[in-house]
């Protein structure tokens, strides 16, 4: 066989390999090469009462324009009245809602319930367009500091310094997910001492959120302390009051 014949056949073989490689590349699905922020997303239409571990479902990444998932979290102030009405309103608007509430919780008693760890877990379950939070009604009490009890006091600077550190960690984590974080302030309370204490926390949250440049504080000072919009304790919000607050939240957040 001549040298020219061998070269011709070798070139033909190379051309066939190149053609097959190009064909394989063109037939490849480009979506399979995309990385996903979180390959497991939660079926968010299921509500959690705070005692169930959310499940997972598979799904792909969402563009900012198509993100239709909202996270609602809080204590008993969100659990009763406000939360259920808000969840329903947002679902009626086409959002998928992850709803997790736990009564008697806050950022102080981490030995009872740790919102730092729980928020990190919840954020891993979706790609949230907005986060709505209502916490603080249980936080005016001692917290653990350097292995000892640090008692709460309106003018105890060390207590507020430590609480501020906890708030910054918690709120900063939410802001890493989205800048649409909405913190719902506590409404007026019937017990005078409790009312004064919750005003201090509301002022704290409003100031911290404004300074952070992320999210927004939404007050509920318009809500009456009395029935039918409140429970007989003058603290928790009734179903009718919850509908009023939910409507205001949806309007003020633009969701």
Could you tell me which residues are beta bridge partners of residue 41?
A: 57
C-alpha angle with apex 185: 197 to 76, nearest 5 degrees? 80
Number of CB atoms found within 10 A of residue 219's CB: 16
Q: Is a pLDDT exceeding 90 seen at residue 43? A: no
Rounded mean pLDDT, 150-155: 96
> Where residue 46 falls among pLDDT bands split at 50, 70, 90?
very low
For the stretch 189-198, pLDDT in tens is: 999 999 999 9
Distance (Å, whole) CA 253 – CA 164: 25
Q: Is a pLDDT exceeding 50 seen at residue 241? A: yes
For the stretch 10-25, pLDDT in tens is: 434 434 333 333 333 3
Rounded mean pLDDT, 102-130: 96
Distance (Å, whole) CA 135 – CA 244: 19
Q: Is a pLDDT exceeding 70 seen at residue 222? A: yes
- This prediction's pTM: 0.75
Give me the phi and psi of 235, to 5 degrees please: -115, -60
> Where residue 66 falls among pLDDT bands split at 50, 70, 90?
low
Any idea of the CA torsion for 198, 178, 42, 107, to the nearest 10 degrees? -30
Q: Is a pLDDT exceeding 90 seen at residue 37? A: no
pLDDT of residue 67: 66
> Where residue 60 falls among pLDDT bands split at 50, 70, 90?
very low
- Tokens 């009872």 -> residue: 112
Q: Is a pLDDT exceeding 70 seen at residue 27? A: no
- Give the ranges where the chain is alpha helix by DSSP (H): 3-27, 76-77, 83-92, 115-123, 157-177, 192-212, 239-253
């Amino acid at each position: 066989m001549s040298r020219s014949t061998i070269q011709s056949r070798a070139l033909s073989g190379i051309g066939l390999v190149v053609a097959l490689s190009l064909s394989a590349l063109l037939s490849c699905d480009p979506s399979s090469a995309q990385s996903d922020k979180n390959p497991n997303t939660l079926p968010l239409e299921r509500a959690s009462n705070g005692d169930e571990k959310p499940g997972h479902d598979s799904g792909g990444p969402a563009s900012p324009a198509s993100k239709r998932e909202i996270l609602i979290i809080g204590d008993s102030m969100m659990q009763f009245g406000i939360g259920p009405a808000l969840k329903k309103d947002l679902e009626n608007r086409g959002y998928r809602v992850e709803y997790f509430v736990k009564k008697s919780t806050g950022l102080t008693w981490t030995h009872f319930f740790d919102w730092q760890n729980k928020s990190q877990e919840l954020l891993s379950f979706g790609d949230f367009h907005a986060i709505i939070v209502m916490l603080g009604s249980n936080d005016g009490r001692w917290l653990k500091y350097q292995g000892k009890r640090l008692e709460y006091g309106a003018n105890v600077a060390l207590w507020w310094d430590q609480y501020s550190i906890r708030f910054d960690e918690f709120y900063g984590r939410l802001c890493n997910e989205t800048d649409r974080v909405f913190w719902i302030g506590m409404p007026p309370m019937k017990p005078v001492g409790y009312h004064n204490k919750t005003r201090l926390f509301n002022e704290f949250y409003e100031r911290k959120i404004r300074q952070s440049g992320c999210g927004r504080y939404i007050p509920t000072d318009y809500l009456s302390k009395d029935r039918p919009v409140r429970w007989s304790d003058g603290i928790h919000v009734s179903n009718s009051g919850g509908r009023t607050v939910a409507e205001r939240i949806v309007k003020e957040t633009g969701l």
